[in-house]
Structure 1
Amino acid sequence: MDETAMETGVTGVKGKAVAITGGFGSLGVATAAWLIARGARVALIGRGAAPAKDALPPGVGEAAGMGGVDLTDAAAAREALDAVNTQLGGLDALLNIAGAFRWETVADGHPATWDLMFELNVKTALNASQAALPHLLRGTAGRIVNIGAGAGGKAGLGTGAYGASKAGVARLTEALAEELKDKGVTVNAVLPSIMDTPQNRKDMPDADFTRWVAPHEVAALIGFLLSAEAQAITGALIPVNGRV
């Protein structure tokens, strides 16, 4: 490995075409910045309107942006991923960051919340993955990385619906990894604990933010999973807990 590769920790990201769902959120932007700084070509996909390029961090404005995409709709997901494939001249990796969180106890909650969490956390990843596969399978080192959560393994107070949906993301990751393990595409999931985002600071103002996981730290792990060094890793569910 050359000195540049040793400094960055990974090789094989430069020139890769990467689609990021949930691309306009804190983790999506941080991951795009990490990848673009290392020579990847990135397209951001989001449900909301795409932000102005000058509102994004340096370098991220170079990414292709596609807003108004409802990934709970399989047809919309196919249209979006086909468009990204055209814009980037191919597709090497899909990062399924799109998702949502609701805090709600079982006793006082509503079954609709469970449906909503499945729609926003599982179906978005399922639809985007199915839409990306025809493009990823044309290459020899395709990558899918999903964002799960520790609550998918053990739910805490108020996280039943969310945890159940993230358990679904974990099972989707494992099942798809098995399907693709002889086809040159790896599928893994990253399981962050509490991330240090503006929204989480607003929701938990008295917390010790230094214990949380910074988005750029999660981005670095995602970047490794896209690299040549990670070719032997598939079906993994990788916790990123910080000091939580």
Structure 2
Amino acid sequence: MKSGTAPVCLITGASSGIGAASALRFARAGYAVALGNFDASTRAAAESVAGECRALGADTLIVDADVSRDAGCHAAIAAVRERFGRLDALVNSAGTTRVVAHDAFEQLDADEFERVYRVNTIGLYQMTRAALPLLRDSASDGCSTSVVNISSLAAINGTGSSLAYAASKGAVNTMTLSLARSLAPRVRVNAIAPGMVDDGLLQHVLDASRYAAVIDRMTTAAPLKRVSRPAEIADIAWFLCHAPGITGQVIAAENGLLLNNG
């Protein structure tokens, strides 16, 4: 990355969960952070995260980043360029889902597939594509810039909140490989596939009692007898942005759940 100024990270879906934790992790590491806010419903939460980042001494910017809109992605990157003049890391954390049983085929139609893919898969692609010129410009002296995609264990074992969600994250894993090959050597691309994350996306789509039951079930099922926290996934994102020899990898962080497949 270019020397002389603080590195910059843009995090989509930064108002809560893994996105918010990633913003704080990069802020603590001396990065300037751009917080991608999806829409008006998450603005107050984004402002709260921004306040925490500023308290850590980070130059902080909130950008409107409805990743389902290509124009919105380009506008977000334009705001980052105007404010910071560079981009060293992009964490694609924006995501959406609804809970639909995998065998409830009549409850899952094309509209739901399109809604989920528009954010989780197409949105990730659109934001990465919009960011590419700035990421490439910021890479220099043999040091690459980085994209980290937040995927899911659902992409690996076909579980998760819905069939549409699992499929969308499976597409994210495949896209990660293709992008890593296409964007090397100046930009590295990796993904993280978390298992159950307490205070993650699922908490926003289930009522309290159902959510607690899921936490209990996943804690019992995991060989490590725990679920993850957003800050743990944020630590992995930060690591991947500082691991010059790693690209095209999907890092599973699932407390051993994949061991149960045997």
CA contact (8 A) 1:37 1:59 kept: no
Q: 1:60 to 1:114 in 2, by over 3 A?
A: same
Work out the CA distance in 1 between the residues paired with 2:157 and 2:256: 17
Q: 1:157 to 1:16 in 2, by over 3 A?
A: closer
Work out the CA distance in 1 between the residues paired with 2:160 and 2:198: 20
Within 5 Å, give how 1:142-221 maps onto structure 2: 142-156=145-159, 159-182=162-185, 184-197=186-199, 200=203, 202=208, 203-206=210-213, 207-208=215-216, 211-221=226-236
Within 5 Å, give how 1:25-64 maps onto structure 2: 25-49=16-40, 50-51=43-44, 55-56=48-49, 59-61=52-54, 62=58, 63-64=60-61
Work out the CA distance in 2 between the residues paired with 1:75 and 1:57: 23
Question: Which residue does the alignment assign to 2:126?
Answer: 127
Shift of 1:82: 1.5
2:62 maps to which of 53, 61, 65:
65
Question: Which residue does the alignment assign to 1:117?
Answer: 116
CA contact (8 A) 2:9 2:89 kept: yes
2:10 maps to which of 19, 23, 37:
19
Q: Which amino acid aligns with 1:55?
A: S
Q: Which amino acid aligns with 1:66?
A: V
CA contact (8 A) 2:14 2:46 kept: no
Q: Could you list the per-position Cα deviations for residues 37-66 of structure 1 after superposition, in whole angstroms to 9, with x for gaps in the alignment?
A: 111110001112332777338632452112
- The count of corresponding residues between Structure 1 and Structure 2 is 228
CA contact (8 A) 2:50 2:61 kept: no
Q: Which amino acid aligns with 1:64?
A: L
Shift of 1:157: 7.0
Q: Which amino acid aligns with 1:220?
A: D
Question: Which residue does the alignment assign to 1:75?
Answer: 71
Q: 1:145 to 1:53 in 2, by over 3 A?
A: closer
Work out the CA distance in 1 between the residues paired with 2:69 and 2:47: 30
Work out the CA distance in 1 between the residues paired with 2:155 and 2:79: 32
2:254 maps to which of 229, 241, 244:
241
Q: Once structures 1 and 2 are overlaid, which stretch shifts more, 169-178 or 106-115? A: 106-115
Structure 2 unaligned blocks of 5 or more: 220-224, 258-262
CA contact (8 A) 2:16 2:46 kept: no
Q: Which amino acid aligns with 2:113?
A: W
CA-atom RMSD in angstroms: 2.3
TM-score, length-scaled by structure 2: 0.80
Q: Could you list the per-position Cα deviations for residues 2-24 of structure 1 after superposition, in whole angstroms to 9, with x for gaps in the alignment?
A: xxxxxxxxxx9x93200011111
Structure 1 unaligned blocks of 5 or more: 1-11
SS where residue 204 of structure 1 aligns? helix
Higher helix content, 1 or 2: 2
